[in-house]
Amino acid sequence: MRTSAEENYLKAIFSLAEQNGKGASTTAIAAHLRTKASSVTDMVKRLNEKGLVDHRPYYGVSLTDTGTQVATLIVRKHRLWETFLVNHLNYRWDEVHDLAEQLEHIDSVDLHDRLDKFMDHPKFDPHGDPIPDREGRMVDMAGAQPLSEVAKDTLVHIVGVKDSSPAFLKLLDGLGLKLGTQLTVNRRFEYDNSVEVSSRFRSGLLLNEQVSLNLTVKAL
Amino acid sequence: MRTSAEENYLKAIFSLAEQNGKGASTTAIAAHLRTKASSVTDMVKRLNEKGLVDHRPYYGVSLTDTGTQVATLIVRKHRLWETFLVNHLNYRWDEVHDLAEQLEHIDSVDLHDRLDKFMDHPKFDPHGDPIPDREGRMVDMAGAQPLSEVAKDTLVHIVGVKDSSPAFLKLLDGLGLKLGTQLTVNRRFEYDNSVEVSSRFRSGLLLNEQVSLNLTVKAL
DNA sequence: ATCATAAATTAGACCGGTCTAAAAATAATC
DNA sequence: GATTATTTTTAGACCGGTCTAATTTATGAT
């Protein structure tokens, strides 16, 4: 039996590893889960005993193969539910995260396979993140990069958001930016790393570094 | 914050009260939840402190008004999910109970209102049980009675099952009996309280008392 | 190399929920 | 009414998960 708490740790370690490449530090995990480092140490010990993580004290935590597999299937569930909530229950993309955090712990592979089929095997969730299939495979995001790294005058379109917080998503909504929106970088300002972009509907839109780092785009 | 364990106790007390009319005994609750009487005593004490149940030691446990309200909304969630699983994910009616037991603890009134709307406000779940609306109201089942009480030569149709266990439901499937099936009681045998019924597709079907007690029907 | 600082771990406590074993209260039987 | 059987409650333990406080380990600055 796996508990929700364990699953949340696995997911946190998974997503920290995805970002940093390296093993996740105790403090990083604690920050990510809004918990205390001592709690992390405890839980990591348990997960290690279950063969789900490797842990070299003071060096970091990483998922084992089975740990990665488990984490990927939780991510699958999370993204399937987000997709369902947005596409079928008319939630907005900034409303679904917390609900999906609950739903992702439902223990049934079959249910999620059926949900997947019901939605016709969607490849991406509402934030542009790829949905792993039942074997954990997902489309690779080669060619995707943060808007902050796009060269001047390149035509791109938005394929994802790195930050799925309601605040960020509402900001994008307010600027008329959503998945699929086509953008061109007009100018880049060294002063604060802000960029000026134009879309079909709006030109001369100034985006600060925080925004451009969190917008994932792909050349067209 | 309410926990899943608390919710399961409330639901158990609710359904025991529904059957027996009276307050639920400690042992009955324990049996229903496959737990121990001492655990029930503990939990009942906590629920009482939260104002969800009344408890006269050695006399029984009953839900307060707020307790009833909470329990009803859990039942609502359970039945909405069962309906969704059967009607949209193609589950059979004997497969959905355990999944719904998990899903009913999802904490969001809004999600369930949307699910309700998505399905066009169904009035009954796949077992014929009425689905409470967001205010806890449900259609009353006046006129419904167990098949065991139906007089000879009365035309009735199946509107529900009292026992939703997979075993019983599979038995019904095997006999070609489902919600809506029209039946007439041909004969009643005093020896073992079995009844012989006829449907459009099958005549002279002998049902034992256990079955006829658990089949809810309504005159036509 | 030493010392201060930061990160990680351990020790010990608490809470919710469960259990077993024992005690207390009620009901049933003679 | 006294005794037995049953139900319920209490007492005490354990587990998973969390916390604070104290300790240990590693790192960075001088």
The DSSP secondary structure of A26-53, one letter per residue, reads: HHHHHHHTT--HHHHHHHHHHHHHTTSE
Answer whether A220 touches B (CB < 8 Å): no
154-213 in chain B: CB under 8 A from chain A: none
Q: How would residue B61 be classed by pLDDT, with cut points 50, 70 and 90?
A: very high
| Alpha-carbon A177 to chain mean position | 18
User: Nearest-CA neighbor of A19 among A37, A5, A31?
Assistant: A31
Q: What is the DSSP letter of B205?
A: E
Q: What is the DSSP letter of A157?
A: E
- Record: contact B102-A106, CB cut-off 8 A: yes
pLDDT score of A23: 84
Q: Any idea what the Cα angle at residue B185 is, between residues B181 and B190, rounded to 5°?
A: 135
User: Nearest-CA neighbor of B178 among B86, B75, B77, B115?
Assistant: B86
Give tens-digit pLDDT for B115-146.
999 999 999 999 999 999 999 999 988 889 99
pLDDT of A185 > 90? The answer is yes
pLDDT score of B175: 95
DSSP β-ladder status, B194-198 and B205-207 = antiparallel
Q: Which among A89, A90, A114 is the nearest to B90, CB-wise?
A: A114
Residue B26 CA to residue B184 CA, distance in Å, equals: 40
Q: Kindly report the nearest CA distance between residue A106 and chain B, in angstroms.
A: 7
Nearest CA in chain B to A87: B118
Q: Any idea what the Cα angle at residue B72 is, between residues B66 and B78, rounded to 5°?
A: 145
3-class SS at A216?
A: strand
User: Nearest-CA neighbor of B24 among B52, B51, B63, B50?
Assistant: B63
User: Nearest-CA neighbor of A176 among A194, A155, A199, A153?
Assistant: A199
Q: Any idea what the Cα angle at residue A46 is, between residues A42 and A23, rounded to 5°?
A: 80
Å from the A73 CA to the D27 C1': 37
101-140 in chain A: CB under 8 A from chain B: 102-103, 106-108, 111, 114-115, 118
Å from the B134 CA to the D10 C1': 40
Give tens-digit pLDDT for A36-81.
999 999 999 999 999 999 998 888 899 999 999 999 999 999 999 9
Residue A87 CA to residue A103 CA, distance in Å, equals: 16
Q: Which residues of A touch B106 (CB under 8 A)?
A: 99, 102-103
Residue A172 CA to residue A117 CA, distance in Å, equals: 30
pTM, two decimal places: 0.92
pLDDT of A115 > 90? The answer is yes
Q: Which two tokens stand for residue A122?
A: 């969607």
Strand D: which residues 27-56 of A lie within 7 A (CB)?
Answer: 35-36, 38-39, 42-43, 46
Q: Any idea what the Cα angle at residue B115 is, between residues A176 and B128, rounded to 5°?
A: 170
Q: Under a CB-based contact definition with an 8 Å cutoff, are residues B73 and B137 in contact?
A: no
